[in-house]
A and B are shown apart, each in its own frame.
Chain A
Amino acid sequence: MNKKNIIKALLPLIIFLSLVILLYNGLGKNTRLLPSALINKPVPEFSVPSLMNGQTINNDSLIGQMYLLNVWASWCPNCRVEHPMITEFARQKIIPVYGLNYKDENAAANQWLNQFGNPYKDILVDIEGLVGIDFGVYGAPETFLIDAKGIIRHKIVGELNPQNLKNEILPLIEKYK
């Protein structure tokens, strides 16, 4: 048996074993609770157009207020699920909510907003998903809590709901006010 044949025969096993190790690592970790590496770090630098008026928004222009940054896309079913929650939160005017429209098309995003309503103070457009990568976005929806100094204080992976709003977001808003 030559070397090439041995490798060919063993390859599936090797690929499979790495997969098993990977899956085993992923087990038991609640992906929704994983802390972001960016917690208590400043917001990454970005400079992107606004979906609402086309003007450029950058990380500095948002400093001076505490806000929620909600990552959403029109292709994301769970974003529709959480949308009423975001709307209700924005209506209470505790802190403003900004949107990060992630890997989406502007036309689709606008149609989506027309359909479900626009709770956002402004929306960052991230067609390529590059801002998302800097923020360590895992998938839509995700929500970041960012304080007045531009420091990321919390991240929720998955949809915002009454529980994580009450138990995680609201106490932190009090704390960092």
Chain B
Amino acid sequence: MLAEIGQYTLAFGMMVSLLLSLCPLYGYYTKNEKIMQTARPLAYLQLIFMLVSFLILVTLFIIQDFSVTYVWQNSNSILPIRYRVSATWGAHEGSMLLWLTIQALWTGLVAFYSKSLSSDKIARVLAILGMVSLGFAAFVFFMSNPFLRTIPMPFDGNDLNPLLQDFGLIVHPPILYMGYVGLSVPFAISIAALLGGNIDENWIRWTRPWTNAAWACLTLGIVLGSWWAYYELGWGGWWFWDPVENASFLPWLAAVGLIHVQAVSERRNAFRGWTVLLAIIAFSLSVLGTFLVRSGVLTSVHAFASDPSRGVFVLSLLAIYAGGAFFLYALRANKLKSQTEFELSSRETLLLVNSIIFITVCFMVLLGTLFPLIFEAMGKKISVGPPYFGSMFFMMMVPMAIFLPIGVLYKWRKDKMKRVIKLLIPAFVIALVLTAISYWFFGGLNLKATLGVFAAFWLLISGFNSIRQQKTLTRGLWGMQLAHFGVAVFLFGVSMTEHTDFEIDALMHPNEVKIVKGYSVEFKGVENKQIENYNAFIGHFVVTQDGQQVATMNPQKRIYPRQGNPMTEAAIDAGFTRDLYISLGEQINDKGGWAVRVYIKPFIRWMWGGGILMMLGGLLASTDKRFFRHAKRLKQQNIENYLA
């Protein structure tokens, strides 16, 4: 019964999306204020329906209604309750419903926090968001409905993929989706602006916190995904340039470009067209990512269930949204002409260069991801892998890191390179010295790592330098500095982890001790235990350094009875300057000998820490007073207009 109610709520939600995409626009074109004002209530109603429908699916998992196909496929009777909840978005159908719910949530938030926008503007924005919801609602309802039943009802469920029975998977998808879907807000604002034929700085100012918030969520989502891959896949890797990972990285890169260009177009009447275009690109890449992940055009280690007919549907959505947007852009782009003049040597130019770098990287990653398809179409075959992505990314990040501090110090409109370079000389020298010290301290680094460490110090020192020189620091500026420090911390972490990590692979017998880079790792043996819904071989290790105990570590080898595949659960002793990482391989002989792998991963936490700093910077910047000061004034104006 509950499943049917969920089904109906979803259908009603879809109807509301349809109304939301039509009514406000009809009101806008017929200049009917009353009809335009239906936008907000419809947005709230849509949110209620989608949310209820999602909560019903969660409930079906909790009460274990195995008559629902999606539930029995992804759960079973001994699954612990926390994973029953997260199993809701553990596979295709449910995760698309989650996507839709988050879409409705963003739409609701836009409706709520848009009091400062005139009703014709908000009507257009919400209508566009309604269209996006409508497409995805139709996709969920017709192509991947999670409420369908299996008759007769199976006795027990199939179990959730053991890889996904994990904390990382409880939090990673919702946050990542917040980011993906959040990019539909700047997209909708851009389209609304194109429909109206003009975009002024108030619009862009109003868009900025939304872009920042969406980007911050995307950043956190990617960090969580990388962290999950690191501890769950059991071989210590943290990024594989897999199509699915690239799918989340592409919109992130485009959004970085967008954020920086918005900084220009908000204050100066410049790059308006480019801002709009980047907003369209960023969201299109979100949808493209969904397509790549769901359609099976590219094979991936993530191996989601794929289905070509779903692929056609998502591709059509992409063609409608992005194709329509680019078409509209082609019609209206020349109306968005910018007027302000600025010199070539100015902050404007450097921010433009920034966005070009990021969009180029984005394009290169896209190209690498699609290479197999492109060459297939030409009847040839070629392959790319991490070697391509790694070297390409490195090449592009070098100019980025060099120019970043220069751009931060450059003045608007017109500035002299000489002046800025003079300001930066001390930072450059200090960074060189610190790099030399690190080189000596870590006993030699290779070229890439040395450059990476230098870039990190260069960003850090010049960042402090520019904070010292600012007279007033707004939250916006603090946010920017924080995010840039995040880049520095990230670069340091990556350089150290990638180039100075250490691993040994050994056959160990109980009470045997191995010395790994100054740590002595003692193997105490393995015990077998039944825990929750799996059977585990638990290894016991004691790690000491200079006679002091550092950690006791218990890596596991798990067997989930329902699916039968063994899972490696690494034991990680996380630290500020290094991670100890032990994973248990196979039992080698009957004398208690096991294959054991021990890794030392220096500074790996810094990489994710850098990501988190970037995220916090983005969030902090979006709370800058000027966004709200302005909002207040506009609100006042609207009321006055209304009264007059």
| A interface residues, Cβ below 8 angstroms from B | 1, 5, 8-10, 12-13, 16-17, 19-20, 22-32, 34, 36-37, 73, 75-78, 80, 102-103, 114-115, 129, 132-133, 136-140, 157-158
Contact = CB atoms under 8 A, between A and B. Distances in A.
Contact of B383 (A13, A23, A140, A158): A140
A133 B382 contact: yes
A59 B240 CA distance: 32
B308 A27 contact: yes
Contacts of B374: 22
Interface in B286-331: 291, 295-299, 301, 308, 311-312, 315, 318-319, 322-323, 326-327, 329-331
A104 to B, nearest CB: 8
Nearest to A1: B334
Interface of B: 233, 235, 237, 240, 242, 277, 280-281, 284, 291, 295-299, 301, 308, 311-312, 315, 318-319, 322-323, 326-327, 329-331, 333-334, 370, 372-374, 376-377, 379-387, 503, 505, 597
A1 B334 CA distance: 8
Contact of B381 (A17, A27, A76, A137): A137
B297 A23 contact: yes
A16 B385 contact: no
A119 B301 CA distance: 23
Contacts of A27: 295, 297, 308, 311-312, 315
B552 to A, nearest CB: 25
B299 A31 contact: yes
Contact of A129 (B330, B370, B383): B383
Given A9-B333, A20-B315, A31-B298, A138 B373 contact: no
7 contacts: A8-B333, A12-B280, A16-B284, A20-B319, A24-B312, A27-B297, A77-B233
Contacts of B387: 75, 103
B322 A73 contact: no
Given A22-B373, A26-B373, A27-B311, A13 B323 contact: yes
Contacts of B383: 102, 129, 132, 137-140
A129 B383 CA distance: 9
Contact of A75 (B380, B385, B597): B385
A5 B297 contact: no
Contact of B323 (A16, A36, A80, A158): A16
Contacts of A17: 323
B393 to A, nearest CB: 14
Contacts of A76: 385
A158 to B, nearest CB: 6
A77 B329 contact: no
A34 B312 contact: no
A158 B303 CA distance: 12
B502 to A, nearest CB: 11
Given A23-B297, A26-B376, A77-B301, A13 B330 contact: yes
